[in-house]
Amino acid sequence: MNQSTNNNTEKVHKVLARAGLGSRREIEEWIRDGRIRINERLAVIGDRVDEQSVIRLDGKQVHLKPMKEIRRRVLIYNKPVGEICTHSDPQGRTTVFENLPNVYHGRWLSIGRLDINTSGLIMFTNDGELANRMMHPSAEIERHYAVRIHGEPTQQQLQQLKKGIELDDGMASFDSIKAGGGQGTNNWFTVSLKEGRNREVRRLWQALDLEVSRLIRIQYGVIELPKSLSRGVWSELDDAKVNELAESVGLKATNIVKRSAPNKHLRHKRMVSKRRRYSRNPKYNR
């Protein structure tokens, strides 16, 4: 039964996701597991809360700041091969979150994932609602990848990849395929698609017995991977770009842009300001 019914309420999983405590899916799992209480009663899916509601997660009260006091943030990160997209790993492997700056309200949430052998662009935000909308299939946000194939696909195979191939989890296809050159048996292509099923790009090529020897995500929606961003390095989007990203998925632009018309140099400087992680690889420590 819903905890509150007035017009100033929101669903609890949406409120907690927006505060960056987790994704909507994660929070719904917490509710099912009995980890969340509202006004001392176990929460259920669909419960609504208002400003007076007392929310507890694992027995600890969650203190939520009004949204106007929390600046929506988005990072872009050039993920190297070998890192995994999870907050912790029982096997002790390096995670992408180890290289990100501290966030003072909530936590960083990844907008989509890349498998351990895929490199390139991955975004993070402290706003769970933004992450949810960016990943939801209904948004139909294009993902672009640079793919190196071992072998030379025929025109018939390329057409088949665009027309559609039956995978284990249903039909899949690329929206576009562009040749990108190559030498010998290694050929590069740029492909795009509007969904993010697990290892979908690799599985499409493998369905035609074509081996993917390298896979790099180079664009997600309106955000491109800057050529100047080294592997293992993050960059924070400026407020104007964050507002643009939010509006592209139907959210209000809440960040205050201090300069109404900054020159390109200042915008570029803010967009690519970054913190390098220290590594045994000296190129990361320059």
Find out whether 12 and 31 touch, Cβ atoms under 8 Å. Answer: yes
The amino acid occupying position 170 is G
HSE of 249, CA atoms in CB hemisphere, 13 A: 24
Torsion of CA 27, 32, 37, 43, to 10 degrees: 100
Q: What does DSSP assign to residue 104?
A: S
Active-site residue flag, 115:
yes
Instruction: Look up residue 53 and give its two tokens.
Output: 């509601």
- Measured between alpha carbons, how far is 205 from 87 in angstroms, rounded to an integer? 30
Confirm if 112 and 74 have CB atoms less than 8 A apart: no
* Cα–Cα distance list, 73 to 6, 122, 169 (Å): 30, 14, 34
22, 58 Cβ separation under 8 angstroms: no
DSSP label at residue 284: G
Strand pairing of 143-150 and 186-193? antiparallel
Asked if 45 and 34 touch (Cβ cutoff 8 Å), the reply is: no
Q: CA 275: distance to chain centroid? A: 19
Helix pair angle (24-32, 128-135), 10° resolution = 110
* Catalytic residue from among 58, 89, 115, 169: 115
Active site residues per annotation: 115
